Structure 1
Amino acid sequence: MGAVQSCINTNQDALNLLATTKMHENYVYNHCLNVSIYACQLAIENGLPLKNIEEIGLGAMLHDIGQVYVPLEILNKPDKLTKDEYAQVQTHCELGFEMLRKMHEIPVTVAHCALQHHERVDGLGYPRGLKDDEIHKYAKIISVVDVFDALTNPRPYRPALLPHKGMEILYAGSGTQFDSKQIHLFKNSIALYPPGLTVKLNDGRTGIVTKYNYQAVGRPEIRIIRDEEQIAVTPYEIDLSTIGNQTIEIVEADALL
């Protein structure tokens, strides 16, 4: 996050755009902050130099700036969008690009993050139907973390998904929607269930994550503190990755409650 902050602090245009995003819709503002943090982590995992990390962080921060042109009644609609409404949402990529490319303090690569973050490696994305190497690497990085953050946060039309479920959806799109390398690196760059997180299991027990398992990202080690009736117990450890009954799984996490 420090790389992004240093870039923004010296860029008045970026600061003004962030303020505009927050005034328009708070979800978009928070989403852009989250995506920027994830994108920087993924850029570091790619082994990129600081200058590139700063540009990716800034591009992620402003990738959805075109959303300020989309009416709030569409952004926050609790039902499925009509064809016309979805087409209006899609315009945010080109509108954001046009806004950013005219600002001298904003690198053109940042503008392309706004333009290309909904492109797909199989060529079925928008707005230009670019595929594979036609898509800028920054946009390939941002597209992965953009979808992950969107899936793992609640929206008016659906609840938040648990982090490991969001990761499963990313893997389902590996090689078609997303660059496979970026999916793999993203898995290694974040802990979906970090130590200290309170979670609830599907058998009713509550515990605290004590150790993250990178080989089975949805099955960490947990210290159980309450039983199935939510009565406090003498804490004991279970490892979801080795437990015999694989039907035991996390169904709630405190960050999502």
Structure 2
Amino acid sequence: MTFNSSNLPEHIAIIMDGNGRWAQKRHMPRTVGHAKGAAGVRSLVEFCAKQGIPYLTLFAFSTENWKRPEDEVSTLMGLFVQYLEKEMESLAAAGVRLKVIGDISAFPAELQARIQSTEEATAHNHAITLTVAANYGGQWDIVQAVKNWQQANPSLHVSQLSQDALAQHLSTEGMPDVDLLIRTGGEQRISNFLLWQSAYAELYFSDALWPEFDEAEISKALHWYKTRERRFGKVSH
């Protein structure tokens, strides 16, 4: 399915929820659900690129996910490496640019190196920017932005900090704010994801578990988005 380019979101952000529950419903380990969920990312990215949506951000691993069982965290790390190894070559050939946001200093050195090399290898691609939020939290992002602004402007007092200036130091600097924020898995909260960037986002909650969230499901979200009247605080005409 191809959508008319009018009134499509410029930036879609997705909280990929429900991998573990998908596996448990099938009497399989939660880790199997994460693998199944990761396998569907490629087709989703390609679908968004085909529609002409320039930015897609996926919440892969939050700062709170470290509290999960050790084997599940290890699996998530392994899937990230595997994704960079196997998927990015074909995605890069399709014009996908990869950007990773979050505190990656907590990751194994091998993963940090792969992230850096993949970002560099895809830096000049323009079909779509795929941003993966890993060890990311929206509150962390805002605090880091304030610290980075202060470091860049040591002679200025924090009272001189403006919204526009702070936005330039967020991890998503240079990207448009989120137009459509999707959460799968039936939960209706944004879980500390892109808090600043989603200030005026349309929020779409899907009951589909992430491994079930295919082209038909995201098409439903896009149809719903096209019905929304985005006023940004203004009155309706």
TM-score (norm 1): 0.27
Which has the bigger relative contact order, CA under 8 A and spacing at least 6?
Answer: 2
Larger radius of gyration: 1
| Higher-helix-fraction structure | 1
TM-score (norm 2): 0.28
